[in-house]
Chains A and B, each alone.
Chain A
Amino acid sequence: EAGVVQSPRYKIIEKKQPVAFWCNPISGHNTLYWYLQNLGQGPELLIRYENEEAVDDSQLPKDRFSAERLKGVDSTLKIQPAELGDSAVYLCASSYHSGADTQYFGPGTRLTVL
């Protein structure tokens, strides 16, 4: 069974530029999560999807961050414009459903904003 796929693995951009991250969850997983992990910190939830619906986006900074999960499979997280403080690892995870305890994490995208 293939795991959660994310791309790119690394991204370096200058501040004020836009950036997008892509995630393909494990086949059959209805719930998809985007997390932010700063150095020395645990992951923090940005947004949770149940199929196509964003059911928890309370932690997503909506002034510059946006996300979509068209057709309830792949998802894209976008930042526009990026700020220096956005440098972090962006993790995507998936699970069979929200009540499932096991979340499977992708390898993450390490973003560096210069």
Chain B
Amino acid sequence: QKEVEQNSGPLSVPEGAIASLNCTYSDRGSQSFFWYRQYSGKSPELIMSIYSNGDKEDGRFTAQLNKASQYVSLLIRDSQPSDSATYLCAVKGGGGSNYKLTFGKGTLLTVNP
């Protein structure tokens, strides 16, 4: 059974600070890693994907992947109140299914003005 673990939070940061969100996964065969943002009462929205070890930057967002440690993280620089949402880590591949997306429970982020 593939598992994706996240700290449920809430994680509270002041406006302008760096928010760091973490995720671990159990299946070493996992190949693709994603971060979704979900505002309260809304559906998940893909914000970052990463496939190889290292960092991937997109604007204020940086995804980091360490396959040896089975760890993926999301950094949000210059956090804004509009970043307040639940961030879902999702993993794909391995475990006999290359197509199934397995989500963590999500981390609630609150950015305080």
Contact = CB atoms under 8 A, between A and B. Distances in A.
Interface string B32-46: 101000000011111
Interface residues of B, number: 22
A43 B44 contact: yes
A73 interface: no
Interface stretch (B12-20, B75-83, B99-107): B99-107
A99 B51 CA distance: 14
B43 A107 contact: yes
A93 B30 CA distance: 21
A101 B42 CA distance: 20
Nearest to B88: A42
B92 A101 contact: yes
Main secondary structure of the interface of A (DSSP, over half): loop
B43 A42 contact: no
Contacts of B104: 42
Interface string B81-113: 000000010101000011111011110000000
Q: What 8 pairs across the A-B complex have the smallest Cβ distances?
A: A42-B103, A105-B43, A98-B99, A42-B88, A105-B44, A43-B103, A41-B105, A42-B105
Interface of B: 4, 8, 32, 34, 42-46, 49, 88, 90, 92, 97-101, 103-106
